Structure 1
Amino acid sequence: MSADLKTEQLAVLTVTPRPQSSSVPDLPEDVFLLILNGLSAWDVVSCQRVSRSWRTAFSKDEYIRFVLQSYRRAKEVRALPPATLNFQSPVDGSSHVDWKTILLTVASRYHNLAHCRARMVDRYPLAPLEQLGDFFAVGQWDYHESQPGGRLYYETAAMHLKIGAKPYLFRPTLWSYDDGLLVYPPAICDEYGHFPQILALLDVETGKKYPVPFNARGKIIRNLRLKDRALIVEWAEKDPFHNLNAMEQVNRHFANCYDVHRDEENQGWTVSWRSEWKMHFLGLPPNYHDRFFSTHNANHYAVYFWQPNRSMYTGDEELPIESLSVWDISAPSSYQPSTDPSGRHRPPEKAGPYIVSRFSFNQLDFFGIRQRSTVSLMSLHLDSQALSLTVRENISIEGQGYFDPAERLWCARTTTFPFLGEGPRLYREWDGSLPPYRGHCSMESVDVEESERWFLPVMDVVDSEAGVRLSLVETCFSGHSMENKLVVRVKVEAEDLQEDVWRTLDEEFAKEVSGMGRIAGDERWLLGQNERMELVVLKF
């Protein structure tokens, strides 16, 4: 090759400009938004860690708002004012929103939910109130129509895993969860002393505890429930009040109601007294045969009593004694009937909690919800606006799944009727799908999805606003080499997920929250109790 040709080629190479390398942050905004539209929140957080220029580009508030538009069901996004997620012209006040923190929180949570793993595990030891005699749970059914054959047996989970084992009941628990708050008896109460306050309110997010002003001296806690920022503790006196017959004594039963308020000044919570009322006009023997079940909201309280008939006569009198009462608990009152056995200082009617309506066993029979000896009751629900009460029952279809648990089939029945005034009764069969009764915790379960083969539902929790379902199921494989176990699953209905499928929690975490057959929580965390008397919170 001649020297002139080489010189000409070098001149061409020198004149031709080199192509400049362009990065994602250098792209036009319309192209950048197309890329951003295909990324999840976790992908955006990952992109922020590539380089300084990427962090600057992917951390702009308008771009974060654009990404969060796909997570409108997340709790932090739902709490924002309307139109806050506008790309160009956000509403007033959105400039004070910490968009980066919201993005990181939402991205971490939905990434962990998608992979069904916990970001953090908190454990809270429980006080052994049952062993100390301060807790005597309401007796559970030993017969229920939702079980094939009806009969349940008090067996441990380990025994249940044996070949040919029978259905068993989970043990009752003493804690209640509602919207980020948990009420339970902590093992260590150094902040405010063990007695007389043995219950605490726990803010699950911060881990801070607040005292519940319930004086437990001379009392036996039967049940507690937190709902609509109202805490109800149902208890009985330790000392009998009178004799029921020559063999049994009756203890008076009461219910205390407390209001749970947000303390904005101290950024915490306060639990204050609202009222007290006598649950049953005579009282109940503290045994496992006289049972009561209740529900409440901010304004009303309903309690159903089921007691064995102690009559010496035959016939219909041998059927259990059943009754249902609905109370209006909206008005506060300082009067405590437990301190006034004679009722001399009773305030005027409707000056505090008062009975709105009573339903005898004849009326329950008329509504079609009298249980008799074939119990199928699953739950009670109050609607204060419609002034109605909903009773849900569950029965097992005869001949279905008696020998093969994978073929089990249940029929959920719903009966709705007004508890105040008169109106029609609404009765529905095959109304949803309820799990079989496995203890009182099963009565708190929402409708489960259609029964799946080889999985027996125990309890489901649904965060409907976030579209997150937490499910506790038990495998029911057949075979001598098969080991059935409790499994916790998570399903998320989110726009960033390509498929809506179940994801299974690791077995080590599932054991931590499934020991008592009861779970609770929402999109942020999953709560349960293990066999070591600990409340476990799995934070996503």
Structure 2
Amino acid sequence: MPTPQSHDVALLPSDIFWMIMTYLEPSEIVRCRRVSRAWNEAFSNPSILLPLLKRHFPWTKEVKSINTESNNQHQSNGLSLFDKVASRYMYLERGKPRSIQKYRLCNNFGRTEKREWYEVQPWESHSASSRALVERPFPEARWTVENNLIVFPSAEHEVLVLMDLETDRKFMVPFIICGNIIRRIRLEKRLLVIEWADPKAFHWLNDSDGVHRHFASSFDVTKGVNDSWSITPRNEWKIMFLGHPLSERDRFFSAHSNTHYVIYIWQPNRSLYTADEDAPIESLFVWDISKTSSYRPSLDPAGRNAPDDAPCIVSRFGFQDLEFFGVRQRGYPNFQRLEITKNSQAIEITENFGSRPEGGLPHAITTSIPLTGYGPHWRRDRQRALPPYWGNSSLHSEFMSPDDFSEDFWSRAISQVTDGDHLRFVLHFQQMLRMGKRVTDLIIWIPWSKVTIENVDFTGQGKLAGCEKYLLGENKSRELVIYRFDR
């Protein structure tokens, strides 16, 4: 009998074998290694896998590092690089994480049964809501994320913790929670800002509305040796409005860069003669927080010992100034985003409108104001919309493109986070109620697919954060939930 000829694909000429490989998905290439030893060797060749990695995943950090580092260095680990990226996007395509981490967050009341957390309250009405009133307001999240670093109040340790999501190592933030009331925390530009208040009101406006002194403390976050992180106090300043401290019912929203801090304050009008829901007291303040200072205004109520290096106000904008710039909110706010530009030269206020006067999809308008208040301001239509306002966590959401969503979908969107142009996560309500309750879906877009899965892990605060390696949110059991797609 004639000897059977070998038709093994692994023995084909290299150019033909390359053509076959280009028709295979990355996950299929990995599965082909299970056929035989010859196939395992052929489909594990780094000289083939590295070009395929660039072809399928040009946007990833792994591919960008290949383009900047020596080729010989990556030939040795080309197999592991390809498998790592292919595995990550396989889980993203399925809509299922590779692993899930959960961390219990501190309660509103500490071990002493005294209040330690009181988030800034959301507006009851907002123009970027499907109805006049905010139907389902989410509480503001008490955790913050920036570039693989997350800060959250750990119930296990009863302190604020900074965790590196690359190594899972935790580092304590030198801020004492017990004896204070934390209103908000935010990590930006490697600077952690904690807004907090005295637990006891020093003045009562009525039987239920007390006035508390409010402060902000900042901490520099720097990387040390052996993947460690250092959290060092920089300074502290008092949050005031013309000598009138904030009360429990006031709304305030802030942003910061590495050198400046800006806060917008919205206070119900308490005057007996001019009380009007449509005319709240509004103001905007800018602080210079660039200098390190040991001065603590919380220990100096009279403010008589403030040194020259203490944070100071550099700009004040009253309601008339905000009216001039076209960003006064009155009793029916549009406000949904506050930022300081990268060069710290301007403040950007983004207003989210539920619909255009001429009809059509919702849209957002951003007004840029010089940080000093002097100079021209710029008002522009972003040609995109932010998700509807569901509470203060909506102030952290990213822009949505009207080309991708109908007005009906927009009205049910809760939060969105993107990683470049290749990946998008959207949390949104289903169209139909189930047993009289709203059900939440998580949608994951990657360049070649879209998957929708029912989700209960991120329904606590209506906030998402993450990238192609992980996705973070909070469930209704006050747990921080991390979907890991990389490990």
TM-score scaled by structure 1? 0.81
Asked whether 1:537 is paired with 2:482, we answer yes
> Contact (CA 8 Å) 1:252, 1:283: kept in 2 or not?
no
1:351-390 aligned within 5 A:
351-385=309-343, 387-390=345-348
Question: CA offset at residue 68 of structure 1?
Answer: 1.4
Question: CA offset at residue 511 of structure 1?
Answer: 0.6
Question: Counterpart of 2:148?
Answer: 180
Equivalent of 1:56 in 19, 41, 49: 41
1:322-357 Cα shifts (integer Å, max 9, x gaps) = 111122323322222212223343221xx2433232
Question: CA offset at residue 454 of structure 1?
Answer: 4.9
For residues 282 and 441 of structure 2, what CA distance do their matches in structure 1 show?
A: 37
1:292-441 aligned within 5 A:
292-314=252-274, 319-348=279-308, 351-385=309-343, 387-397=345-355, 409-420=361-372, 422-429=374-381, 431-441=383-393
Equivalent of 1:502 in 438, 445, 450: 450
Residues 1:314 and 1:188: Cα distance change in structure 2 (over 3 Å): closer
> Contact (CA 8 Å) 1:413, 1:428: kept in 2 or not?
yes
The number of residues matched between the two structures is: 476
> Contact (CA 8 Å) 1:253, 1:283: kept in 2 or not?
no
Equivalent of 2:125 in 122, 138, 143: 143
1:106-130 Cα shifts (integer Å, max 9, x gaps) = 1111111112111111111112135
Question: Counterpart of 1:473?
Answer: 428
> Contact (CA 8 Å) 1:218, 1:239: kept in 2 or not?
no
For residues 105 and 209 of structure 2, what CA distance do their matches in structure 1 show?
A: 32
For residues 438 and 277 of structure 2, what CA distance do their matches in structure 1 show?
A: 43
For residues 277 and 22 of structure 1, what CA distance do their matches in structure 2 show?
A: 76
1:129-177 Cα shifts (integer Å, max 9, x gaps) = 357410011111011112255223xxxxxxxxxxxxxx22112321112
> Contact (CA 8 Å) 2:278, 2:332: kept in 1 or not?
no
> Contact (CA 8 Å) 1:361, 1:370: kept in 2 or not?
yes
SS of residue matched to 1:33 = helix
Unpaired segments of 5 or more residues in structure 2?
Answer: none
Question: Counterpart of 2:82?
Answer: 103
1:223-242 aligned within 5 A:
223-242=184-203
Question: Counterpart of 1:213?
Answer: 174
1:282-305 Cα shifts (integer Å, max 9, x gaps) = 353542x21110112323221100
Q: Report sequence identity in percent.
A: 36
> Contact (CA 8 Å) 2:130, 2:388: kept in 1 or not?
no
Amino acid corresponding to residue 428 of structure 2 in structure 1:
V
Amino acid corresponding to residue 129 of structure 1 in structure 2:
N
For residues 140 and 354 of structure 2, what CA distance do their matches in structure 1 show?
A: 23
SS of residue matched to 1:535 = strand
Asked whether 1:75 is paired with 2:61, we answer yes
Amino acid corresponding to residue 141 of structure 2 in structure 1:
T
Amino acid corresponding to residue 332 of structure 2 in structure 1:
T
Amino acid corresponding to residue 431 of structure 2 in structure 1:
C
Amino acid corresponding to residue 434 of structure 1 in structure 2:
L
SS of residue matched to 1:82 = helix
> Contact (CA 8 Å) 1:458, 1:474: kept in 2 or not?
yes
SS of residue matched to 1:310 = coil
Question: CA offset at residue 72 of structure 1?
Answer: 2.2
SS of residue matched to 1:107 = helix
Question: CA offset at residue 535 of structure 1?
Answer: 1.1
Question: CA offset at residue 514 of structure 1?
Answer: 2.1
Q: Say which one has the larger Rg.
A: 1
SS of residue matched to 1:114 = helix
Residues 1:430 and 1:68: Cα distance change in structure 2 (over 3 Å): closer
Question: Counterpart of 2:417?
Answer: 461
TM-score scaled by structure 2? 0.89
Question: Counterpart of 2:473?
Answer: 528
> Contact (CA 8 Å) 1:275, 1:332: kept in 2 or not?
yes
For residues 183 and 58 of structure 1, what CA distance do their matches in structure 2 show?
A: 42
SS of residue matched to 2:154 = coil
SS of residue matched to 1:117 = coil
Unpaired segments of 5 or more residues in structure 1?
Answer: 1-12, 85-89, 153-166, 401-406
> Contact (CA 8 Å) 1:410, 1:436: kept in 2 or not?
no
> Contact (CA 8 Å) 1:454, 1:475: kept in 2 or not?
no
Amino acid corresponding to residue 124 of structure 2 in structure 1:
D
Question: CA offset at residue 389 of structure 1?
Answer: 1.4
> Contact (CA 8 Å) 1:47, 1:55: kept in 2 or not?
yes
Amino acid corresponding to residue 61 of structure 2 in structure 1:
K
SS of residue matched to 1:43 = helix
SS of residue matched to 2:385 = coil
Question: Counterpart of 2:442?
Answer: 488
Residues 1:283 and 1:212: Cα distance change in structure 2 (over 3 Å): farther
Residues 1:330 and 1:53: Cα distance change in structure 2 (over 3 Å): farther
Residues 1:489 and 1:408: Cα distance change in structure 2 (over 3 Å): farther
For residues 167 and 277 of structure 2, what CA distance do their matches in structure 1 show?
A: 54
For residues 522 and 388 of structure 1, what CA distance do their matches in structure 2 show?
A: 28
> Contact (CA 8 Å) 1:239, 1:251: kept in 2 or not?
yes
> Contact (CA 8 Å) 2:216, 2:239: kept in 1 or not?
yes
> Contact (CA 8 Å) 2:49, 2:82: kept in 1 or not?
yes
Question: CA offset at residue 392 of structure 1?
Answer: 0.9
Amino acid corresponding to residue 183 of structure 2 in structure 1:
R
Question: CA offset at residue 64 of structure 1?
Answer: 2.4
For residues 124 and 178 of structure 2, what CA distance do their matches in structure 1 show?
A: 31
Amino acid corresponding to residue 347 of structure 2 in structure 1:
L
> Contact (CA 8 Å) 1:137, 1:222: kept in 2 or not?
yes
